[in-house]
Structure 1
Amino acid sequence: MDTLNKKARIVPYHHPAAGWGALKAVAVNLIKEKVAGGNYRTLLRQNQPDGFDCPGCAWPDRQHASTFEFCENGVKAVAAEATTKRVTPEFFARHTVAELMAQSDYELEQHGRLTDPMVYDAASDRYVPIAWEGAFELIARHLKGLEDPGQAAFYTSGRTGNEAAFLYQLMVRMYGTNNFPDCSNMCHEATSRGLPGTVGIGKGTVTLDDFEHADTLLIFGQNPATNHPRMMGELRECARRGAAIVSINPLRERGLERFADPQSPLEMLTMSGTRIATTFVQPRVGGDFALIKGVAKRVLELDDAARAAGAERVLDMDFILAHTAGFEAFAADLRAQAWAPLERESGLSREAIENLAAIYVAGKRVIATWGMGLTQHKNSVAAIQMLSNLMMMRGNIGREGAGLCPVRGHSNVQGNRTVGIEDKPTPAFLDRLGRVFDFDPPRAHGYDVVETIEAMEDGRVKVLIGLGGNFAMATPDTPRTWEALRRCALSVHITTKLNRSHLVHGREALILPTLGRTEIDIRGGVAQGVTVEDSMSMVHVSYGMNKPASPNLMSETAIVARMAHATLGSAKVDWLYYADDYASIRDAIEAVCEGFENYNRRIAQPGGFHLRVASREREWKTTSGKANFIVARIETDTPINWARQRHGDDVMVLMTTRSHDQYNTTIYALDDRYRGVFGQRRVLFINPADLARMGLRAGERVDIFTVWDDEVERRADGFLLVEYDIPPGCLGAYYPETNPLVPLDSVGDVSNTPTSKSIPVILRRSRVAATGAA
């Protein structure tokens, strides 16, 4: 349980998002992290052409130039990296791993930047210093000693730049495996697996310029005021010129109600804001697929009515006939679909679905954007493909001001996948990689995150190397995952700060500290830049501005190169040459990856360049050569329905979410301002009607139990009940605190993504005394 926090309170928030609250939070974070004056001024260079790219979210920058623009969460990320607090060898000498395990994730984050490579000493239960050369020798000894390359897995975080990611995948494939579990497996994998079947590529079809022309925006499963605050500026401009903005989310998020731009003197002085969403649609948790299919059915009904009346067609038949395949089968399935299951599974009335369809068909240029609220369910691939179907019905793909817009999380999660971090690589990519580097890459598919945990569990994976991230806390079924990690012979984490994954380790373990993106990276006497690809396929270069936190840090790129040199030697690839000249890595990326022609020249221009997305230009890289309508039927044999058959109305559906003061598993502070939560994290958002039905009251504490069929008790204890605007039968709570409730084998169809947004649970009044979170 969390320790008592006297500042814990629930105070509903009634102000616009951002505004003075955001500015106060910025000041508090700079003070708390003890950011020095020089590093504070670094913020003025954030997202500037001669500065560094925000290490936070993947929302693009408008022209990546001139304007002074940064967001509250971007400041938190930069402040956390630019902090003057240090985790030195002396720190580890004072603390055993067991002692550090007793600290919360927030407390671990607050210790500051790692300064030196460390190796675990089992005799003392402490990390002790190790020379870089010794660390690479230890890694090489383990990798060379495995019976099969598939006994090692190589995790990647979305903060990793293109250069390090490309070298990493090259090293691993030359070593002999495609075991690339990565953060995308746990967030937007449904997008990456769903869109290629419909439009031919797993990326969005819009750029930031399209938002200037859109008249309608459908925002599925997103809380941009917290997760992508710079997106709010675009939404504000859309709202001010009259675009219809629809929030489709079980939680009614305050950030999408009103927004006060901190750079608007009028809104700041008058304490006012701009209304953002014109409509809120709140499907039940997991009801998105049924809702989208219901909207598509209604669009077809409206088209049938228009044809019967001799009026203008609702469907864009020119687009459908010229660019798509499978429409007749899709239309037949919609006509055969009864309304009752659509209402039951979506949790919405037919009238509400028809109202959303009316908004959609009134739009001439529609953008559909989504986050993890759409991607972490059993049927997420089907939901995304149904959304693609809906957009194709009216030609809203490949049109100015319209298109598909998945919003990725970390700043380079999309770029990592583009340059080869992929457990299921295409034969074409492997052919080019092998041809350029004169070797035969492994062809068998590797392990994703869930498969890696299972393989560690049964001894098939003995070494885990993590390039960033916090594997132990980001993954599902926490006790099971931790036990699997502890069975490894070696765990290695390349990281900037201490986190839980360094404490849940293999029999041998290394912590390798790396430069942050804000820091100057000098190699061969030259400042090196790293490149990233944002959510809208813009690629640009980033140069650090701050002095490194320690003289004993290496960049991610240099660490990967040194690992490869120690493990594989440099007879075939001169790894150390690449480590000293990142431009040479970009030349290699250009030779292997499509669309990177003249890479180094193109990133030299302000804003970088747009990586071509064929579907944006209505070129369909599918087997049919067309954009495909895909038929999908409503599933009723689901874990949720199975649980309800056994436990009736006691079963609730839990969705995990971030607080405002966290980014992925990084906990910056203990507040969730827009949801009115302060000084605590073990809270459970619940509909007031459910409280009354179960005889519970807001302010009581409950224990949460997963309903699953494997007889394993999964529980999370001591959660404070908070009344919230969420559909009956649904719950919301923060991760990673609720990750223990997600069964490892509860995954999305096709994507194999943990279903963290649809967990069947029951509640029991807690016997634990009321406590806050620390």
Structure 2
Amino acid sequence: MDTRFIGKKSSAAGGWGALKSCGKRLLESGTPLSGAMTMLKANQPDGFDCPGCAWGDPEHGSSFEFCENGVKAVAWEATEKRASPAFFAAHTVSELRELSDYELELHGRLTHPMRYDAASDRYLPVAWDDAFREIGNILKSLDNPDRAEFYTSGRASNEAAYLYQLFVRLYGTNNFPDCSNMCHEASGVALRQAIGVGKGTVLLEDFEAADAIFVIGQNPGTNHPRMLGDLRRAALRGARIVVFNPIRERGLERFSDPQDKIEMLRGGSTDIASHYFQPQLGGDMAAVRGMAKAVLAAEDAAVAAGLPPVLDHAFLAEHCVDFAAYRAAVEATGWAEIEDQSGLTRAEIERAAAVYMQAERVICTWAMGVTQHVHSVATIREIASFMFLRGNIGRPGAGLCPVRGHSNVQGDRTVGINEKPPKAFLDALEREFGFSPPRRHGHNVLSAIGAMLDGSAEAFIGLGGNFARATPDSALVETALRRLKLTVNIATKPNHSHLMPGEVSFILPCLGRTEMDLAPNGNSQLISVEDSMSMVHGSAGINRPASPHLRSEVAIIAGIAEATVGSGIVSWSALAEDYDRIRDHIEATIPGFADYNTRLRKPRGFLLRNAAAHREWDTPAGKASFFSGPLPEETVHQRARKAGGRFALQTFRSHDQYNTTVYGLDDRYRGVYGERQVIFIHPEDLKAMEAEAGDRVDVVGAHGDGIERVARDFRFVPYDVPRGSIAGYYPELNVLVPLSSAGEQSDTPTSKSIMVSFRKREAA
């Protein structure tokens, strides 16, 4: 038994542990003082938008709000380490492929545009104009624009994303595989069906007024730590916080606010969750339906006793459709089915429902623990229906809140990164620019990978991100990328996507969010982003660029566009010289951006109006729509239990990680140090297998499609997780996520619903 990598968990999220971790990352960056000074300008009206997450910023104009993720993201970007041409000259691509994600990105910032040379298996420097010319020539040589895939990461600004979609549609395709396809696509689909807009309906101020906050399938302590400050303040004023999460997460249990001097000096912390329930993987929909069943039963009892109603009948009558069908579906769902699928008891579910009924104002938040299942759209429809029962939408202190990850993943979609673009948007582009954009739907992430594999796609351009490591079925994706005629990655640091070159491959280094982007007149260019609360605000870097050879994302897109489609319709160089001109086009083609350039320069930016937050419903019925579908026939944990010897696996982040970027090898909130290849498992499941903590195993996929998927050499960590459910980190476990398993209607990879078994490894 080897338990050397298992240690003590932090007693609370945040606190001195967060400060020590931040100090460590700043020291590793090589610029601790300048890195700390840089952080003081994050999320300020005259500073830059923190690239750490999409959680909203206070509209009160507060000073720097401490966030461990933000410090790590800034230190990661502002490092003095450089991946220069000398670095690539010293290492073949084959050698670099042997490095872990963490080891590869430790080499620092990219400094020069690079082109892959197959003969030497190395990347060599290339001039910008030569790179643009060759990329343009290859794109023009394809016999159909649909043979190219144009990926977007949520780190791209509104301006870069808008220019990107304009270029690609002028080129002639809607192939926009996007990072949102892998995370909150289900939220957008479900909310458009339920309330007419695919975004959340709350502002940060609503967290100050809510009586209860339901947190379902998310881990703020690791993924968006600034949210913990809002939850802490809500808990301190007496709001109930009800958590549904299979894993016991430290940040949802206790939080020590690094900005609270007294709490820090005393070593204290604040309890976050008033109620913490651990459903089985995929059991959230059943749990929510169970709460609705309890609410409807309480309504019937109140009516029979002559007491005030539990439901908001005025809201239901004026603003909702299909309530009767929904009620019938809930009543037809028995408690035995709800308990078995959710993994919770009726008593637990009724306790949660009691909190809901006792609260006048309720917010419900969720993240990828909800969105990465086959039935995710149905689950979010169920959440919305539950919230309709007492009118908890469209009033202060109440509403729906999907919590996004990437800092501008919501903004990218708003400004046109969409493989299924709305007709009104395409019509607006046609009016504004005088060309006919393609109308046929394009590829999302999964269909793009499929097209690469079957040969119908021949080129890939990635605007940020790490496509190869973020996507499912890692081995298949590597095969797909290396078959292409052209691969282009716009990036700040080397990552594994760069090491899967096609016939021709480029790495194009871009400015980071913290760096100055100077216009030809010497003025700093302003970009903009949209957070999870639909607030649009400006961002201007303050650091000197890591290299004089870097270009902005906008400039790189403009260079590729000019070399590919020419400047007859759009003057790409003029737009790249002045981003105000890009925003003028956004204002002319996208509702909500009136007076964009003026409002963007106001402190805290401006709010994009959300019709549903005003109880205006852009649905076919013109009202909020209840969902009356059944529970899933079986969830992953039910299938695993029936199969015997199988487990339901979810992938998630470690605490020292942001998406595919690994900052370090520790996960102090879960008590794991210096190790990432771990499987969190219930102690009784270990005992039943006659295994022990630290034992090494191979994790074997059990999708049943004839493809062998194996994640090799993982260690067991006993943890508080439901029996039969296990968890581990991505991207290491993405090899087990089947490309063919996707969410119904969302086509999102089912990274929280993977059935696996274990194969014992012999000791070395």
* Corresponding position of 2:234: 238
Name the aligned partner's letter for residue 676 of structure 1: G
Matched, 1:586 2:583: yes
| Residues 676-720 of structure 1 deviation map (CA, whole Å, 9 limit, x = unaligned) | 011010111001111111211112111111111211111111111
Q: Is the 8 A contact 2:246 2:280 kept in 1?
A: yes
Q: Which moved more, 1:692-701 or 1:469-478?
A: 692-701
Q: Is the 8 A contact 1:100 1:503 kept in 2?
A: yes
Question: Shift of the alpha carbon at 1:12?
Answer: 2.9
Matched, 1:505 2:479: no
* Corresponding position of 2:344: 348
User: Within 1, Cα distance between the matches of 2:412 and 2:136?
Assistant: 24
* Corresponding position of 1:161: 157
* Corresponding position of 1:636: 633
Matches within 5 A, 1:418-497: 418-497=414-493
* Corresponding position of 1:760: 755
Matched, 1:668 2:663: yes
* Corresponding position of 1:515: 511
Q: Is the 8 A contact 1:8 1:680 kept in 2?
A: no
| Secondary structure in structure 1 of the residue aligned to 2:669 | helix
Matched, 1:306 2:302: yes
Matched, 1:711 2:711: no
User: Within 2, Cα distance between the matches of 1:618 and 1:309?
Assistant: 32
User: Within 2, Cα distance between the matches of 1:275 and 1:290?
Assistant: 27
* Corresponding position of 1:532: 529
Q: Normalization by structure 2: what TM-score?
A: 0.98
Q: Is the 8 A contact 2:641 2:724 kept in 1?
A: no
* Corresponding position of 1:229: 225
Unaligned runs of 5+ in 2: none
2:726 to 723, 728, 731: 731
* Corresponding position of 2:381: 385
| Residues 432-455 of structure 1 deviation map (CA, whole Å, 9 limit, x = unaligned) | 111111111111111000100010
Structure-2 change in CA distance of 1:161 and 1:96 (3 Å): same
Question: Shift of the alpha carbon at 1:38?
Answer: 3.4
User: Within 2, Cα distance between the matches of 1:275 and 1:514?
Assistant: 42
Q: Is the 8 A contact 1:205 1:616 kept in 2?
A: yes
User: Within 2, Cα distance between the matches of 1:639 and 1:10?
Assistant: 28
Q: Is the 8 A contact 1:261 1:267 kept in 2?
A: yes
* Corresponding position of 1:3: none
| Residues 633-684 of structure 1 deviation map (CA, whole Å, 9 limit, x = unaligned) | 0222566655554x32x11100001001110000010011100011010111
Name the aligned partner's letter for residue 733 of structure 2: T
* Corresponding position of 1:748: 743
Q: Which moved more, 1:715-724 or 1:124-133?
A: 715-724
Q: Is the 8 A contact 1:39 1:546 kept in 2?
A: no
| Secondary structure in structure 1 of the residue aligned to 2:627 | coil
Question: Shift of the alpha carbon at 1:504?
Answer: 1.2
| Residues 301-335 of structure 1 deviation map (CA, whole Å, 9 limit, x = unaligned) | 11111111111111111000000011011111111
Moved over 6 A (4+): none
Q: Is the 8 A contact 2:243 2:273 kept in 1?
A: yes
Name the aligned partner's letter for residue 763 of structure 1: F
| Secondary structure in structure 1 of the residue aligned to 2:213 | strand
* Corresponding position of 1:125: 121
User: Within 1, Cα distance between the matches of 2:54 and 2:763?
Assistant: 40
1:278 to 267, 270, 274: 274
User: Within 2, Cα distance between the matches of 1:726 and 1:362?
Assistant: 29
Q: Is the 8 A contact 2:536 2:606 kept in 1?
A: yes
Instruction: Among all aligned residue pairs of Structure 1 and Structure 2, give the percentage whose two residues are the same amino acid.
Output: 57
2:689 to 694, 711, 730: 694
| Residues 254-294 of structure 1 deviation map (CA, whole Å, 9 limit, x = unaligned) | 11111111111111111011111111010001111111111
User: Within 2, Cα distance between the matches of 1:235 and 1:639?
Assistant: 31
* Corresponding position of 1:316: 312
User: Within 1, Cα distance between the matches of 2:516 and 2:40?
Assistant: 16
* Corresponding position of 1:659: 654
1:13 to 9, 16, 20: 9
Q: Is the 8 A contact 1:486 1:504 kept in 2?
A: yes
User: Within 2, Cα distance between the matches of 1:263 and 1:354?
Assistant: 36
Question: Shift of the alpha carbon at 1:743?
Answer: 0.5
Q: Is the 8 A contact 1:494 1:513 kept in 2?
A: yes
User: Within 2, Cα distance between the matches of 1:400 and 1:635?
Assistant: 33
Figure out how many residues of one structure are paired with residues of the other and give that number: 762
Name the aligned partner's letter for residue 30 of structure 1: L
Q: Is the 8 A contact 2:159 2:582 kept in 1?
A: yes
* Corresponding position of 2:405: 409
1:720 to 712, 715, 722: 715
Matched, 1:144 2:167: no
Name the aligned partner's letter for residue 320 of structure 2: T
| Residues 223-243 of structure 1 deviation map (CA, whole Å, 9 limit, x = unaligned) | 101111111111110011000
Name the aligned partner's letter for residue 269 of structure 1: L
Q: Which moved more, 1:32-41 or 1:349-358?
A: 32-41
Name the aligned partner's letter for residue 652 of structure 1: F
Q: Is the 8 A contact 2:231 2:272 kept in 1?
A: yes
Question: Shift of the alpha carbon at 1:622?
Answer: 0.4
User: Within 2, Cα distance between the matches of 1:64 and 1:129?
Assistant: 47
User: Within 2, Cα distance between the matches of 1:115 and 1:472?
Assistant: 22
Q: Is the 8 A contact 1:532 1:539 kept in 2?
A: yes
| Secondary structure in structure 1 of the residue aligned to 2:26 | helix
Q: Is the 8 A contact 1:485 1:506 kept in 2?
A: yes
| Residues 386-445 of structure 1 deviation map (CA, whole Å, 9 limit, x = unaligned) | 000000011000010000000000000000000000011111111111111111111111
Q: Is the 8 A contact 1:152 1:463 kept in 2?
A: yes
User: Within 1, Cα distance between the matches of 2:370 and 2:639?
Assistant: 21
Q: Is the 8 A contact 1:220 1:370 kept in 2?
A: yes
Structure-2 change in CA distance of 1:420 and 1:665 (3 Å): same
User: Within 2, Cα distance between the matches of 1:212 and 1:582?
Assistant: 36
Structure-2 change in CA distance of 1:642 and 1:273 (3 Å): closer
Name the aligned partner's letter for residue 681 of structure 1: R
Matches within 5 A, 1:25-40: 25-35=21-31, 37-40=33-36
Q: Is the 8 A contact 1:424 1:445 kept in 2?
A: yes
Structure-2 change in CA distance of 1:14 and 1:642 (3 Å): closer
User: Within 2, Cα distance between the matches of 1:414 and 1:663?
Assistant: 17
User: Within 2, Cα distance between the matches of 1:299 and 1:556?
Assistant: 51
Matched, 1:112 2:108: yes
Structure-2 change in CA distance of 1:519 and 1:8 (3 Å): farther
Question: Shift of the alpha carbon at 1:39?
Answer: 4.1
* Corresponding position of 2:205: 209
User: Within 1, Cα distance between the matches of 2:288 and 2:466?
Assistant: 34
| Secondary structure in structure 2 of the residue aligned to 1:172 | helix
Name the aligned partner's letter for residue 115 of structure 1: T
* Corresponding position of 1:772: none
User: Within 2, Cα distance between the matches of 1:665 and 1:459?
Assistant: 27
* Corresponding position of 1:576: 573
Question: Shift of the alpha carbon at 1:13?
Answer: 1.3
Matches within 5 A, 1:591-602: 591-602=588-599
User: Within 2, Cα distance between the matches of 1:417 and 1:392?
Assistant: 26
Name the aligned partner's letter for residue 623 of structure 1: P
Structure-2 change in CA distance of 1:8 and 1:605 (3 Å): farther
User: Within 1, Cα distance between the matches of 2:4 and 2:422?
Assistant: 50
The alignment yields a C-alpha RMSD, in angstroms, of 1.2
Q: Which moved more, 1:401-410 or 1:38-47?
A: 38-47
Structure-2 change in CA distance of 1:368 and 1:278 (3 Å): same
